[in-house]
């Protein structure tokens, strides 16, 4: 359920309200049902959804419908604001101890991504100019220590381990004194994945906490977690008193409602999000962006930020004009593609666009390799052909195909897709005119 559909549904609900100055409870209820479904589809815990909706209702009923906004948007605005607030209004950073070494304890269920995240975190901290030490306390899972060692060597951070025959509590203790003696100012303790209902292993964590007195206990949570996220977060928090959460695997297409659930039951901030397989792919968490994502609105802010970083403002404006006038041609297309490429891997970008996801895009090919092919085809066109795609006849197509090393079907497909895209862009740019009041993208 993408923002468009939630937005459309709300528009539908509010259509009959035109001319009304205030929202009645019944209007709001109807609209909130849609919001509720959107949140449930995003895996936000049912109880969290329920109390959240009640809160929204209080705020929305009797609220003045602003002139400039449709009631549907008004509700979304309130929902988004409240979501952001619940998520923690500001970005929360990792803290450091006054008396080094600073100790971070990584905890979580099996398969949530603790070891990978430990490595990513170590890499980031090393960049800050600190001297981190990774500690392998997962003595249960086969080859877990080896995994941390490999990850450690990739990011150039030493790994402290004592094999899998030593008690994790003793390993942690020894690691801390090793860190002190060897001038490591930061220690990241990787622990075994465990179930929150496993008394024995939860006690082990508690003991590690007691002997190491960590600065931060970080709960690593898989962003795809469903309703159970509340139980997990609550148990870990009750037992250990966590300080923050790291949300992993957010580079998938999950809406990540677990983030909201975890936040709601623990009141602890989400500090980082894991966004990919590479060791650099750990990013600070932005509450507002997560709110949009859960609602299915896409991570528009990240996209805007990336666009601003990489886009030539003037060129973007020119482009916008061209799209409006339907003058957009292959030359612009090529230029735009090169600009977009600067922003990062395409599949990451697509995920940030509201209403776009892999599934929706269906057959539209978007891997970076295919982009290279498209570039080759366009570059094999003459300037005239790029500016007036209409003149491309079969003989020209054959030449383009030969020049780019692609086959003629591919050239045909590109031209066809280009025409379709032109139409789609026209529609999109119409949207930004505020006719239907949808989202405005920075470069459209």
Partner 1 sequence: MSLFDKWLNRDKNKGQEESIPEESQLEEFVHDKTEEDIGFSEESYEIKESVEEEENPPEEEGQEESVKEKKAFFSKLVKGLAKTRNNIMDGIDNVLKSFNKIDEELYEELEETLIMADIGVNASIKIMNGLREKVKERKINEPAALKQLLIEEITEILSKGNRDLNIQEGPAVILVIGVNGVGKTTTIGKLAHLIKKENKKVLLAAADTFRAAAIEQLEIWGNRTGVDVIRHQENSDPGAVVFDAIQAAKARKIDVLICDTAGRLHNKKNLMEELRKIFKIINKEYPEARKEVLLVLDATTGQNALQQVKLFKEVTDISGIILTKLDGTAKGGIIIAINSEMDIPIKYIGVGEGIEDLRPFNPKEFAEALFTDEE
Residues of span 153-182 touching partner 1 by CB under 8 A = 154
Q: What is the DSSP letter of 194?
A: -
CA separation for the pair 284, 266 (Å, rounded) = 19
- Cα 429 to chain center, whole Å? 25
Q: Which is nearer to partner 1, 255 or 397 (CB)?
A: 255
DSSP, collapsed to helix, strand or coil, labels residue 64 as strand
Phi-psi region of 108 (alpha: psi -120 to 50; beta: other; left: phi over 0): left
By CB under 8 A, the residues from 276 to 315 that bind partner 1 are: 277
Torsion of CA 202, 203, 207, 212, to 10 degrees: 10
Which of 83, 188, 232, 352 lies at the binding interface for partner 1 (CB under 8 A)? 232
Measuring CA to CA, which residue among 140, 309, 108 is closest to residue 222? 108
> Which residue, 326 or 358, is less far from partner 1 as judged by CB?
358
Q: Which stretch binds partner 1 (CB under 8 A): 33-41, 69-77, 211-219, 398-406?
A: 33-41
Shortest CB 302 distance to partner 1, Å: 17
Contact status: 151 vs partner 1 (CB under 8 A): yes
Q: Which is nearer to partner 1, 149 or 339 (CB)?
A: 149
H/E segment holding residue 245: strand 244-248
d(CA 160, CA 135): 5
Q: State in angstroms the smallest separation of the CB of 82 from partner 1.
A: 10
User: Which is closer to partner 1, CB of 19 or CB of 142?
Assistant: 142
415 touches partner 1 by CB under 8 A: no
Task: Say whether 189 sits in a helix, a strand or coil.
Answer: strand
Integer Cα distance of 108 and 195 in angstroms: 8
CA distance 140 to 205: 14
Binding residues for partner 1 restricted to 260-279, rule: CB under 8 A: 264-265, 277
Among residues 137, 144, 194, which one has the least CA distance to residue 160? 137
Rule CB under 8 A: say whether 51 interacts with partner 1.
yes
- Can you tell me which residue has the tokens 């549904």? 9
- Residue 251 binds to partner 1 (criterion: CB under 8 A): yes
**What's the gap between Cα 302 and its chain centre?**
9
Least Å distance, CB 41 to partner 1, is: 6
Question: Looking at 46-54, 66-74, 313-321, 324-332, which segment touches partner 1 (CB under 8 A)?
Answer: 46-54
Q: Which part of the chain contacts partner 1 (CB under 8 A), choosing from 15-23, 200-208, 397-405, 408-416?
A: 200-208
Query: Using CB under 8 A, which of 11, 339, 347, 412 touches partner 1?
Result: 347
Applying CB under 8 A, among 43, 190, 216, 299 the residue interacting with partner 1 is: 43
Least distance between partner 1 and beta carbon 243 (Å)? 17
Q: What is the CA radius of gyration of the chain?
A: 26
Looking at the Cβ atoms of 79 and 224, the one nearer to partner 1 is 224
Minimum distance, C-beta of residue 154 to partner 1, in the bound complex (Å): 8
DSSP-assigned states of every residue in 366-382: --HHHHHHHHHHHHTS-
């Amino acid at each position: 359920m993408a923002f468009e559909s939630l937005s459309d549904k709300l528009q539908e609900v509010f259509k009959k309200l035109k001319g009304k100055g205030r929202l009645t409870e019944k209007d709001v209820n109807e609209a909130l049902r849609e919001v509720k479904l959107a949140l449930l589809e995003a895996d936000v815990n049912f109880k969290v959804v329920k109390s959240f909706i009640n809160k929204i209702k209080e705020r929305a009923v009797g609220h003045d419908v602003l002139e400039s906004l449709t009631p549907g948007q008004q509700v979304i605005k309130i929902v988004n604001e409240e979501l952001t607030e619940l998520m923690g209004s500001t970005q929360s950073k990792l803290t450091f101890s006054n008396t080094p070494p600073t100790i971070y304890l990584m905890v979580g269920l099996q398969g949530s991504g603790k070891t990978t995240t430990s490595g990513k975190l170590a890499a980031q901290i090393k960049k800050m100019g600190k001297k981190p030490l990774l500690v392998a306390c997962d003595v249960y899972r086969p080859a877990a220590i080896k995994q941390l060692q490999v990850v450690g060597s990739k990011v150039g951070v030493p790994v402290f381990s004592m094999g899998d025959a030593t008690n994790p509590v003793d390993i942690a203790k020894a690691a801390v004194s090793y860190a002190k003696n060897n001038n490591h100012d930061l220690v990241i303790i990787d622990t075994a994945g465990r179930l929150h209902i496993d008394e024995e292993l939860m006690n082990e964590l508690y003991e590690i906490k007691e002997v190491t007195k960590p600065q931060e206990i970080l709960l690593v949570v898989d962003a795809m977690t469903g309703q159970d996220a509340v139980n997990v977060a609550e148990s870990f928090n009750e037992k250990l008193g966590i300080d923050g959460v790291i949300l992993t695997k957010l580079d998938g297409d999950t809406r990540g409602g677990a983030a909201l659930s975890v936040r709601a039951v623990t009141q602890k901030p989400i500090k980082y999000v894991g966004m990919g397989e590479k060791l650099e792919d750990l990013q600070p968490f932005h509450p507002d962006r997560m709110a949009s994502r859960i609602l299915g609105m896409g991570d528009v802010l990240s996209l805007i930020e990336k666009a601003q970083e990489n886009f030539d403002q003037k060129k973007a404006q020119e482009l916008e004009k061209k799209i409006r006038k339907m003058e957009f041609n292959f030359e612009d297309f090529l230029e735009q593609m090169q600009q977009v490429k600067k922003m990062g891997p395409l599949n990451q970008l697509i995920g940030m666009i509201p209403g776009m996801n892999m599934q929706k895009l269906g057959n539209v090919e978007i891997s970076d390799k295919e982009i290279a092919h498209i570039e080759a085809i366009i570059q094999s066109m003459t300037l005239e052909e790029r500016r007036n795609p209409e003149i491309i006849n079969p003989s020209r197509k054959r030449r383009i195909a030969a020049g780019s090393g692609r086959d003629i079907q591919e050239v045909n497909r590109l031209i066809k897709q280009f025409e379709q895209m032109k139409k789609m862009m026209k529609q999109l740019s119409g949207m930004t005119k505020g006719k239907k009041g949808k989202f405005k993208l920075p470069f459209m």
